[in-house]
Amino acid sequence: MISIIIPVYNTEKYLHRCLDSILDSTCGDFEVILINDGSTDRSPGICEEYSAKDSRIKVIHQKNQGVSAARNRGISECSGEWIIFVDSDDHISPGFLSMVAQEKYKNTDLLLFDFVKSTEDRKSPEQPVKSLVFGAHRMPELLRRILVPRRLSRMGNADFRSPCARAYKKSIIDQYSIRFSPDIAIGEDLLFNMEYQLRARSCVYTPIPVYVYDIHTGSATHGFCPGLIKNHARLQADLKKLLTKCHMFSALETEFYSYSLENMTYVLIHEIFNPDNPAPYHTKRRQCASMRKNSIYRKAMAYNTKTGILPRKILVFFFWLRCYPATALISHISYLYLTA
């Protein structure tokens, strides 16, 4: 019924907790595909330990290729009707799989649930929870939230860009050959979700927290991130190409360029003017000049006053004026605020 794909790379500290949470599920009709992506710690042995004691757990060892390649390998190897992605340093609630396996969802293309950031936050709702149903005519609402996230319910905490806390139909993934891009290190999740949801015709969102997200040092999305300039340029180009191919770019144009401005500020804060960037100032100026030549960024500037929060508008404004000392200062303050 359900295939659970788990990329594993040097997470021996968390892997037991992750796998135990799955084995404690109230639904037993599942398979676990563990992709050991070249781990150098005790993770491979832990994977084999669990596989030996439960036949539903399959282990695949491969050289280190990154999380996208690991997830893609899992997609190719799995056989369930539903596909769920779990990161090996996170864990799930006992009822997650049972909710996915309900007969009433057999004709639904996407199931969406909530996240929490600690076990203490995962409280059972005091009142019955009402699911929200999205047919084909309402799917653009979800597509817009991938680019510009907004809550679907007042207390909801869905993550529209993550592949976790949701269930995908394997038949749709196979039909359209949807895969994670191994050429994109940050943002590949968003691109995958966008492609899938462009193909999906229905979704049910249940605002119940089913996935516990573990935030710890070493996360790929925090700190100094060299290579973001090329990564985000490729991400935006691929995203625009996908939306154009599916005849949705004009409908999502404002949200797309808002996301482009978000990318611009992320590059400025986490790479170019990051406090840990050792590059000299003249190199950073050249990087800024290179970003300014990007055709998508140039078009996005027309939307700076229309979308986004005020601090982002101010940062982009100074950047586009080539006032790089002010850009550097605002980026530095933003970094300290975001990492506090």
Task: Please identify, among 212, 239, 256, the residue that sits at the C-terminal boundary of a domain.
Answer: 212
Pair (193, 304) in one structural domain? no
- Buried b / exposed e along 82-113 (16+ C-beta atoms within 10 A): bbbbbbbbbbbbeebbbbbbeeebeebbbbbb
Domain that holds residue 83: 2-212
pLDDT band at 50 (very low <50, low <70, confident <90, very high): very high
pLDDT value, residue 129: 83
pLDDT band at 34 (very low <50, low <70, confident <90, very high): very high
pLDDT value, residue 215: 72
pLDDT tens-digit readout, 329-340: 999 999 998 887
Class of residue 166 by CB neighbours under 10 A (exposed 0-12, middle 13-18, buried 19+): buried
Task: Please identify, among 185, 212, 239, the residue that sits at the C-terminal boundary of a domain.
Answer: 212
Domain assignment of residue 159, yes or no: yes
Rounded to whole angstroms, the Cα distance separating 310 from 109 reads 37
In the chain, count H helices and then E strands: 13, 9
Task: Please identify, among 166, 184, 212, the residue that sits at the C-terminal boundary of a domain.
Answer: 212
CA distances from 183 to 2, 66, 179 (A): 28, 10, 12
Rounded to whole angstroms, the Cα distance separating 292 from 285 reads 11
Number of domains in the chain: 2
CATH code at position 197: 3.90.550.10
> pTM of the prediction?
0.93
Domain assignment of residue 220, yes or no: no
Mean predicted confidence (pLDDT) in 15-23:
97
Select the more confidently predicted residue: 222 or 38: 38
Pair (268, 192) in one structural domain? no
User: Is residue 61 predicted with pLDDT exceeding 60?
Assistant: yes
Q: Which of 35-44, 216-225, 271-280, 301-310 has the lowest mean pLDDT?
A: 216-225
pLDDT tens-digit readout, 126-160: 567 899 999 999 999 999 999 999 999 888 899 99
User: Is residue 221 predicted with pLDDT exceeding 70?
Assistant: no
User: Is residue 258 predicted with pLDDT exceeding 80?
Assistant: yes
pLDDT value, residue 128: 74
Domain assignment of residue 223, yes or no: no
User: Is residue 96 predicted with pLDDT exceeding 70?
Assistant: yes
Contacts of 250 (CB under 8 A, 6+ apart): none
Pair (144, 15) in one structural domain? yes
CB atoms within 10 A of CB 299: 14
User: Is residue 91 predicted with pLDDT exceeding 60?
Assistant: yes
Pair (207, 268) in one structural domain? no
Pair (148, 114) in one structural domain? yes
Average pLDDT, the chain: 93
User: Is residue 47 predicted with pLDDT exceeding 90?
Assistant: yes
Domain assignment of residue 256, yes or no: yes
User: Is residue 220 predicted with pLDDT exceeding 50?
Assistant: no
